Structure 1
Amino acid sequence: MTKWTEAQKLAINKTGKNIIVSAGAGSGKTAVLTQRVITHLKNNIKINKLLILTFTNAAAGEMRNRIRKKISKDLSLKDNLYLLDTADITTFDAYCLHLVKKYHFLLNIDKNLKIIDEGLITLVKDKILDEVFDNFYEKEDLLFLDLIENFSVKDDKQIKEAIKKIIKKIDLVSDKEHLYNDLTVTFFNQDYILSYIKEYEDILINKISSINDLIMLLEGSGYDTFYNEMVKAYTPLLNSKTYDEIKLNIEIPTVRRPKGSEDIKDIKDSITLLEKEIKSYLRYENTEEILTSFSLAKNNAISIVNIIKIYYEKLNQYKFDNDLYEFIDIEILIIKLLKENDQIRKEVKNSYYEIMIDEYQDTSDLQEEFINLIENNNVYMVGDIKQSIYGFRNANPLIFKDKYDKYAKDDIGIKIDLLHNFRSRPEVIEGINTIFSLVMDDNIGGANYKKDHQMLYGLKDYDENYYTNSDLEILNYNDDKDDFTKEEKEAFIIGQDILSKLKKGYEVYDPEAKKLRKATFSDFCIIMDRGTSFNTYYKIFEYLKIPLYIYQDEKIISKDDIIVIKNLVGLYLKVKNYEFDYDFKFYFTSIARSFLINMPDEDIYNYFKNKTFKDSTLYQKLKNLPIIEDSYVLINTLLKEFNFYEKLITLGDIKNCLIRVDNILSLSKEFNKIGFNVYDICDYLNELIESKYEITVKGALNNINSVLLMNIHKSKGLEYPICYYSGYHKTFNIEDIKDRFLYDKKYGLITPYYNEKLGNLITKELNKHNFYLDDISERIRLFYVALTRAREKIIIVTSLNDDCKLTLSDKNKYSSFLDIIESIKNYLSKYIIKINLDDYNLTKDYLDNKKSSKELKKDTKLIINKKIDVKNNIIDNKKISKEIVSFIDKELYDNLEYGTYIHKVFERSNFFNISKEDKHYNLINNFVKTLNITKDDLLYKEHEFIYEEDGNKYHGIIDLIIESDNEIKIIDYKLNNIIDESYKKQLKIYEKYLKSIKNKPCKLYLYSILLNKLEIIE
């Protein structure tokens, strides 16, 4: 029986008002939410009288399964089991779609409406905006032409891109007609402008106040004369309260610091810096000029609104005509319906005893507006503002904060804090509390951590399984080896530290066995703020013989198979249109060199040199195809004509290849539905390749014994015994807010104005100021999410700068996670451990170990995208390289998939530390014994090479190389069959390559994994 804390009991049982539950990391949020549902059921409230909203299908599915398990164990609740599958446990998107379909007749839309792919609707939107611009040009609209003339450089592209960004934000507004009036009238009202000026003055006065604080530090410093001169010089500025007064008094007489006063240099420098910052704000002569600037900018706002209004009219008509909508349209439609139909609103409102919202901190403005329309003082909101990290998905943490603060003061709702952490050791909790009590507050971070959010130790099992080495560690290295990057240094430090811990028998707590056990690779996780260094870690960990699994989403469009499909479609269109231009040569070369044709470079060169490319089989095959206008039919025809699926096997990773191809085929079907043709899909694929849009396949966690590497966003919701944090010196990727035209909920349209020269409104500076504060707040919350993933140990690897002068008063200047640590390092001194890089065996040898598969794919992409200057003929691709001539059926596919899987197992296994409980133990143990592999041998797995002989270049990947003092063994392992002459030929090429770089005799082996059979190749 679960022993609930008093706060948890309150969160489970309290009813009668709106309730907000602030559930910190590891506080048992999901368990509490599930138990509250069960409590309602026991009080004779049926499951179909609860509306449970989440943000992902996975979360909704998990909640449904948890409830099902609980109900199944209690016979008194069995009636609810029959209702569970149809109960409203769902995402916001799915629930709104359900309501729109239910009441479609009132909205005058088809019940069978479809949700359109984001990439496809983006193409539609781009075309519509182009049409709108063309219409304004044709009409010679004067306001529009002034906008273009005053703010375009070469063309109207920049203005278009800025308007697209504005539209993305306006998409989130339910009442656009009201907004249009605000953007052209309300926000230009003098009262509004005066409020902006007041806000602008407040920023300046805060900076002046900081100057005053610094001057006060000089009092009693022993430099009385200097102090008195500073007071006299700055008094007029310190007494200034308006923009005009500050402008008048900003020129400060020079006050020189006395000789020998190095101890107050920092103070004087800080004052000078603040003075420069203030001057940068004083670009207007006076307040009158600020007021005039808004008058001059108003016509630009009217012109942009005119464009946007017509854009939405056309887009909405397109969506209506084609019954195609985005989820954001669905939310707006249901809000419109509920506002205009009081009877429907009451019907929905009275359908539920309670509305329960999980991860409430991620709610958007539209979702909150929807909830407000159907709530009946019966909303139960669970979340944690400290984990609100999805601003880029339109999450608004202020929604949570405003309710939390309001319910804390007033009796209109109930605030409950779940502070006990049942995940982490007390030392981990202490370290996290220390950091965030200092850096997170109401203004920056969005929560008064010290007052309301400090975690309490909850998992008392750790008391009986105490491990002495659980304190937070900040491994501080001297950044003095210039021949290594920070990424390399930190990867080696972490890798060597993991190996050291395992060698020393480091122990972690096993929550299932409820006792300590020896740590394994899978107990370690590395959490970085971005994935740009993942490939470096992959290569270094491979060199150190540490299995590493990178958990990340995969951009499918950047893969070779999709690039080949795109280029094949492009080549087909060029052939059919008799267009033999540069693009034709590019497409021809790409396909000729690809895995579909494998044409020698010399042949390609001769085809173009002699202008005989029309004689090629490739050209003839495309020429003989009929003209096909259906995108789906065309791609399918090309795949079949070029035996795509059979040849796809040569790329390896078959499952993901098929997923990617299936995505493209599904997209091509959608193209037909929305009236786009084969040229459009070619343009679309080109846009995808250029990363303008993205299609991703979600990454999946594996159960293989390997260290995990991921970014912070991927780590949310996960937990690991030992977590390393690295790469935190990198500057935050701040979204570009330098666009000339911007939209902000508070300030409306922010446009430049033209008055003999270009100028910016003060709202641009206000928007920038607020944006940086919001961004830093989210970064602090990201840091909290990262550190709270750790159960037993936090290890931050970084290089602190002794000269860094950042303090807690500089929180609004944070530009990296390292800045956060730097600003509080004096408070963290007991956690900082100085380390010497010489102890971590840094070496560049890892670069020669082998290229990682990720790097290979990256290189190959570059080759494909270059002109005809291509030099190597790839004859041997990953793992499966003999020619397959039969069409790939399910049985063959399953066998190939299993073979690929077993190859991965062998690739990631360290061969010596595998547990007997591991289901692959026998396969690996047999292999090690048969090959007589010892711990002294050097092992190179999946070793990629490029080797040239007699003018030919060979490119392949060797499964395993075992190097001892006297010889080299080259092993090519297969799942089953090893009787094939092509395998022997491959091994001979491998041998030639290795003999060219190693002065040792080589032995060649083919090994059947399932048969445990070894064949020596003479």
Structure 2
Amino acid sequence: MGLLNDNELADFNEFLMKKYGTSPDGSHNSKFEAITTFNKNILLSAGAGCGKTTTLSLRVLYGILVKDLSVSDMLILTFTNNAAREMKDRIKDDLKEFATKKEKYPFINEEASKKLLDEAEKVDSAQISTFDSFSNAIVRKYADRLGVSPTFTILDQTVNDYMFYKVEDEIINEEFNNPNSKIRSFFDRDVSTNSGLLKSMIASLEKMRQTESNAEDIFDNWKENYLSNQEKIQNNATFYCLNYYAEYMMALGAVLDQFRLDYVDVQANDEENSATFFERAAVKIRKIGEKYYYLECQDYYSEVQNMIHDMENISFQGKKSGPKEIFRPMDRSWWKNEVVSQYEGDDQKLELLEKQKKCIKDSYDNIKNSLIQILPTETSVALMDKNAEYIDYAIELNKKIHQIVQEQKKEHNAYTFFDVSYMCLKLLKENSDIREEEKNRIKTIMVDEYQDSNNSQEELLMLLGTDEEQLLTMDDDNKVFTVNFVENRFNRNITFMVGDVKQSIYGFRNAKPDLFMSKYQNPEDNNFELLTMTDNYRSDSQVVDEVNSFFTSNMTLQVGGVDYANDINQQIKASNKTLNQISSTDFNDLGSYDYDFEDKELPAKITNGQLKKHIIAFDIAKKIKSWVESKKVIVTEKRDGSRRPAEYKDFAILVRAKNQANPYVKAFSSLNIPCTLDIDQDFKMNTATMVLENLVKLEYYLTEMKSGRKLTNDELDSYKHCIASVERSFLLNVKDIQIIEDVKNCLSLDEAKRPLVLKMLDEVNVPGESEIKSPNQIIKEIFSKFDVYYKISTLNNPDEILSSYNFFISEIDNLSSMGFSYNEFIEYFKELREGDLSDTPQELKLYKARGNSILITTIHKSKGMEYPFVIVPMSNKGPKSKDENGSLIFDENYGFIPSFTKADKDFIREQCPRDNSKKDANGEGKIWNSDKKNEFNFVFPQLLAHELQKAKDDLSEHLRLVYVALTRARLANVMVFSNSITMKSRLYYSTRLLPKSFEDFGARASHSFMRLQHGDCAHYSMEDIISDVDKSNIPYKQELLDSNSFSIRLCDPLPDSVTKNKLNNFARASKADSVFADKDNEKFGTKLHLELENLDWSNYPTLPKSDFIKNEREKMLIDKFIRSDFISNLVGRHPQFYQEFEFIDPVSHHEGSIDLAIVTDDTSYVIDYKTSSTADLAYRRQVSIYRKNLAELMNIDIHKIECYLYSIIEGKFVKVDVDDVK
């Protein structure tokens, strides 16, 4: 019946139709149907800024007023806690608005008003949540049916992984000790006793349990489903590869045509003329592609060989045949006379021309060589048969390990969200009464951001949205044994899904945008009605035009997932009347910028990628400052049209990766521009985490020593480091001189000399008391003793450090819930940094107040937000696919794909004795060189097909990230390119199928995009910018101009705070002496170090002055270094001096600092200052780390770097040989 009478309902519908039924341009708007349709399943495809949240909220309102629903009858699901919280707030606000503003909504009667207010009170307890939270509630509700306690703890996934790896090590050790185990034959196949490959296979199977809801079925039935059909599977994979490269060939033919049009004079038509040649070549290449594209046959491997043959024997008008013949004219003299001569004097164009020519030739070779490496079907099938028992063995061990870990979790009543999701599905699939009870309770299902759903979530929705009789059940106990093949799915007609497949950017969370697209492309087959919303109310017309232009050129079904150019329902329309009336002169200075680093006159060091990014960031920072200070850039508010000058808070910089933020933070700080860095951190890399961890480790070391155990040398070093770390931190703020003394006396029995931190810990660890306390109780008492919480509150950035503290506490509670000992706590944190868990990020979410400051955040975090002006640095690095070497890959189309062992490679060489990628004089493949163990050029066809598809998926998500970024802007986008012309060429003349990076996407559409932004993209000469940097009084000027790299930590938004509060968790060798002659000598050495660091080498060969040193002895020692033969020998070699050269080691992730690095024309030097002794060669490993990082950061041949220790007292250099240091 509803709460409204007929007239009120008619007025309500008229209100909705008038406001939401028609677009501003007069066309039909589906929003009205999306709000009011409840008798069928709806898939709503809503473009960016089209008001999907409004639609969902009003749908809740309509359900209450018209369909007799309560919020308690609704299940509203989304994917993040923030989104769920915002959805609740929006629904609550809308219900109260309609209930209380009767003059605005006269059709709401008193009864309806009261009902809406009552429902608003229920919103907080309603089922408006994430999928995880819903599954959690279901499992706790029916916990007795699963045999678990409803009070279980949610276990951190990283802790779960740690438990798995521990049990895995134990089981593998047991297998080694079992004479009947298969493990010996497993290692015999790889001629290795290293368990890395087996562990990786087992771990890969465990990861499958998180991505495949039917992983156990796959394990049990993989032979029947995949191995028994290997010949067909291999043939299908080979077909995919052949089809891919055939399409590549057709694209290459088109590229060749474009190359001719762009660069070749077409007036002459003789046989040798380039135009005629390229026309013929393009046709021939295209025809090869067309011949094999979607070819139907029985044996695709034979067709691969045929395509290779065609590529190797292509010919033109009876001339000599062969692959080189295609490009022969490009290597002959006419190339210079007829083509190059046209661009004489234009060095940039000539360089571009040569690069493009090379790309065309390389692309042709790459296609051919990729086809050559595909294994013959017969060999591939035989190999899979050989590997079957070892895959079974890995599955057997995985099941054993998984079962032990599950029993441990059950014993301690703790489960991960993946466990909870699995248990929820198990409950619903195996218990018809529970399914019915939940279906009766849930009258309607709404899913926000449906494009981000995964297979398990889809299965959950299907179970709740499908009538019982449609589910395939077993006769005995009504267990649903499969849902994937239910024909009439979602036939309850209660499901509403809204999303935008162009914004699916969570592949790393197993999101499957294909689920959305299958319903979008075939709605009737899936029992859905498709509705679309394309009216964008967020952005002005210029932004919308730019977005449509950009993605019309870039986004296709193949790359991106939608046919943007031809599917009008995927394009957006500018529908905000207020914003559409804005004059472009309001922000005429804003555009997109292409920074040209190809200038031959630039210093060689400017080719360093990191330095380029810092130069660009500094220039962008200057531009923003000028825009704000000039007050010429105007912001128009979209609600009321009010206008005001732009402020810093109106600008947002959206980066793809965290490390892209560093240059902008540094630049804004140098120009005193306020900025907020809103980027989640990896918990273990947070400095506050390191301090707390070191404090916990200190307690462990103390306990061990009091028990009588002597610490190992490594433990003793760590013990000293922990003392220095904690005492230097915000917890104690001990001065460096005292810290050195404390480290020196860390084992002293003299209570007067005992370090402060140890005395405080002694007070916590009362003898005999610790035995009755749990580890987390002890740790919390330690934190209480050190007043950690209060001291955090006194810092400049308490919120982010408090986040670290709270996360740390939750981790120790997790570990404690699993019964871990204190020793295991220490092992866990060690694994996080150095072991199997070191590559697993633990995202620490930070909340930061913004105020009037520029926002720097990731594109992922910006989703759902909007900003007046958006700046997008178009990174020249593509997406990084996860390295799957050594793992056991699973592909739903091809089954398990193992990596090759040595035995596999030997078998392949027997079956395929020639390397066809390398021809001998007779055109035959060369015999394998048995001496070159790493020489191997074959691949499973299913692995190649898997990798090609994965590359497309990764690049599609990469492009969707760009879409999300560019649709955040209300008034203008600023795209920042670096050498986009060159990038465009590299893309366009190598493969038009798969762009490699943000810049590739941008370059393909850059010119049309820029023209829309008040003219062409501004190209900048680096000379002017570098000169400007040189003139500016910025703290890091010398670093920027004289150094190739510098780094800041994301947890410290201001570089100064990093310098002041930095924890030296990567101690310099010069500061690592554990023994000093005496305290006075120690102070003297520290002072000499500081004086050397203050020398100014910027005017060399003019030597630095030491007049600032007042003590005569100290001045004499420093002058001895300045006037040494070593320094004199640098004259004429153009040395560059880098003092206190800082780095973050990529292996340990610790900070380091080189006392002095010198880079010359021929040799570079690492110099580490010593007070006196240089005899202790324990420094060798440390300076070898310095050398490695200097080589990587400065792009120097590591063998051209020499390492020296310099004794300040003795005035001598001692060369350190580090070539053999591991």
What CA distance in whole angstroms lies between the structure 2 residues aligned with 1:836 and 1:205?
41
TM-aligned CA distance change 1:686 to 1:706, over 3 Å: same
Say whether 1:548 aligns with 2:675: yes
Structure 1 match to 2:948: 769
Partner letter of residue 150 of structure 1? R
* RMSD over aligned Cα atoms: 3.6
2: CA distance, partners of 1:305 / 1:865: 41
Query: 1:730 — aligned with what?
Result: 877
- Structure 1 pair 741–152 and aligned structure 2 pair: CA distance change class (3 A): farther
Alignment of 1:472-621 (within 5 A): 473-479=591-597, 480=599, 481-482=602-603, 485-505=611-631, 506-577=633-704, 578-582=709-713, 583-592=715-724, 593-595=727-729, 613-615=748-750, 616-618=753-755
In the superposition, the TM-score normalised over structure 1's length comes to: 0.79
Deviations along 1:874-908, whole A, 9 cap, x unmatched?
Answer: xxxxxxxxxxxxxxxxxxxxxxxxxxxxxxxxxxx
The residue type paired with residue 655 of structure 2 is M
Could you tell me how far 1:208 is from its partner in structure 2? 4.5
Shifted more, 761-770 versus 166-175: the winner is 166-175
Per the TM alignment, residue 553 of structure 1 is displaced from its structure 2 partner at its CA by 1.8
Match of 1:846 in 2: 1034
Q: Which amino acid aligns with 1:200?
A: C
**In the alignment, which residue of structure 2 is the partner of 1:393?**
509
CA gap of 1:476–1:132, structure 2 versus 1, over 3 A, is: same
The CA deviation string for residues 642-687 of structure 1, in whole angstroms up to 9 with x for no partner, is 5656666775534544443343233323322211000111122233
SS class of match (2:767): coil
CA distance in 2: counterparts of 1:285 and 1:397, whole angstroms: 32
- CA–CA distance in structure 2, aligned partners of residues 643 and 617 of structure 1: 20
Match of 1:461 among 575, 578, 594: 578
Contact 2:594 2:1020 in 1 (8 A): yes
Match of 1:936 in 2: none
- CA drift of 1:704 comes to 1.2
After superposition, residues 423-442 of structure 1 pair within 5 angstroms as 423-442=538-557
- 2:83 maps to which residue? 59
**What's the CA shift for 1:153?**
5.2
- Counterpart of 2:988 in structure 1 is 807
Unaligned runs of 5+ in 1: 874-946, 953-1018
State the partner residue of 2:1088.
none
Structure 2 distance, partners of 1:611, 1:212, is 73
Larger displacement relative to structure 2 (410-419 or 816-825): 410-419
Partner of 2:312: 251
Instruction: Please give the per-residue CA displacement for 1:67-98, whole angstroms capped at 9, x wherever unaligned.
Output: 22232332415333454343222221111111
Compute the displacement of 1:117 (Å): 1.9
Equivalent pairs, count: 878
Distance (whole Å) between structure 1 residues aligned to residue 270 and residue 656 of structure 2: 46
Deviation of the 1:277 alpha carbon:
2.4
Deviations, residues 494-525 of structure 1 (Å, cap 9, x unaligned) = 12221222233211102354221111111111
Partner Cα distance (1:562, 1:848) in 2: 28
> Unaligned 5+ residue runs, structure 2?
1-14, 23-28, 100-109, 314-321, 340-352, 466-491, 909-937, 1040-1047, 1075-1107, 1115-1222
1:749 corresponds to: 896
Secondary structure of 2:522's partner?
helix
Map of 1:817 onto structure 2:
998
Letter paired with 1:320: K
Give the AA of the match of 2:596: N
Residue 1006 of structure 2 aligns to which amino acid in structure 1?
Answer: K
Would you say the 8 A contact 2:697–2:722 is kept in 1? no
Q: How far 1:469 moved relative to its partner? A: 5.0
Say if 2:334 is the partner of 1:260: yes
Distance 1:272 1:727, change over 3 A: closer
Q: How does 1:22-171 map to 2 (within 5 A)?
A: 22-43=45-66, 44-72=68-96, 73-74=98-99, 75=110, 76-79=112-115, 80-81=119-120, 83-140=122-179, 142-151=181-190, 155-171=194-210
The alpha-carbon deviation at position 846 of structure 1 amounts to 2.2
Q: Is residue 2:432 matched to residue 1:342?
A: yes
1:773 alignment partner, SS class: helix
User: Aligned runs of 1:618-697 on 2, under 5 Å?
Assistant: 618=755, 625-626=766-767, 628=770, 630-642=774-786, 644=788, 652-689=796-833, 691-697=838-844
Cα distance in 2 between the residues matched to 1:656 and 1:269: 48
Distance 1:222 1:317, change over 3 A: farther
What is the DSSP-based 3-state SS (H/G/I as helix, E as strand, rest coil) of the residue aligned with 2:373? Answer: coil
With 515-524 and 823-832 compared, the bigger mean Cα shift is at 823-832
Aligned partners of 1:300, 1:144: CA distance in 2, in Å? 9
SS at match of 2:815: helix
Q: Which stretch of the first structure deviates more once superposed, 48-57 or 72-81?
A: 72-81
Cα displacement (A) at 1:162: 4.7
Provide the identity percentage. 26
Q: Is the 8 A contact 1:445 1:780 kept in 2?
A: yes
Is structure 2 residue 865 aligned with structure 1 residue 718?
Answer: yes
How far apart are residue 59 of structure 1 and its match? 2.0
Kept in 2, the 8 Å contact 1:555–1:694? The answer is yes
Asked if 2 retains the 8 angstrom alpha-carbon contact of 1:559 and 1:861, the reply is no
* Residue 297 (structure 1) aligned to one of 378, 382, 387: 387
Alignment CA distance shift 1:872-1:231 (3 Å):
same
Question: How big is each residue's C-alpha offset from its partner over 1:475-510, in whole Å with a ceiling of 9 and x where there is no partner?
Answer: 122224545522222212212221222233211102
Q: Contact between 1:335 and 1:370, CA under 8 Å: does it hold in 2?
A: yes
* Residue aligning to 2:1177: none
Q: Are 1:494 and 1:724, in contact at CA under 8 Å, matched by a contact in 2?
A: no
1:714, distance to aligned residue in structure 2 (A) = 1.6
Q: SS where residue 416 of structure 1 aligns? A: strand
Q: Is the 8 A contact 1:535 1:854 kept in 2?
A: no
Report the CA distance between 1:65 and its aligned residue: 2.4
Cα deviations by residue, 1:601-646 (Å, 9 ceiling, x for unpaired): 6666677778953334235665674263521222134335556566
Q: Give the CA deviation at 1:235.
A: 8.1
TM-score (norm 2): 0.67
8 Å CA contact retained: 1:17, 1:414? yes
Deviation at 1:467, TM superposition (A): 3.9
Letter in 2 for 1:671: L
8 Å Cα contact 2:540-2:579 kept in structure 1:
yes
Residues 49 and 354 of structure 1 are in contact (CA less than 8 Å); yes or no, is this contact kept in structure 2? yes
> Residues 286 and 222 (structure 1 numbering): CA distance in 2 closer, same or farther, change over 3 Å?
farther
The Cα shift of 1:437 comes to 0.9
Opposite residue 382 of structure 1, the aligned amino acid is V
User: Following the alignment from structure 2 to structure 1, what is the Cα–Cα distance between the partners of residues 65 and 393?
Assistant: 60
- Residue 712 of structure 1 deviates from its aligned partner by 1.0
The 8 Å contact of residues 807 and 824 in structure 1, kept in 2 or not, is answered as no
Opposite residue 579 of structure 1, the aligned amino acid is K
SS in 2 for 1:124: helix
1:9 Cα offset (Å): 1.0
The answer as to whether partners of 2:980 and 2:999 remain within 8 angstroms in 1 is: no
- Relative distance call for 1:546 and 1:179 in structure 2 (3 A) is same
Query: Contact (CA 8 Å) 1:187, 1:193: kept in 2 or not?
Result: no
- The code of the aligned residue for 2:86 comes to E
User: Structure 1 residues 263-272 or 742-751, which shifts more?
Assistant: 263-272
Contact 1:521 1:706 in 2 (8 A): yes
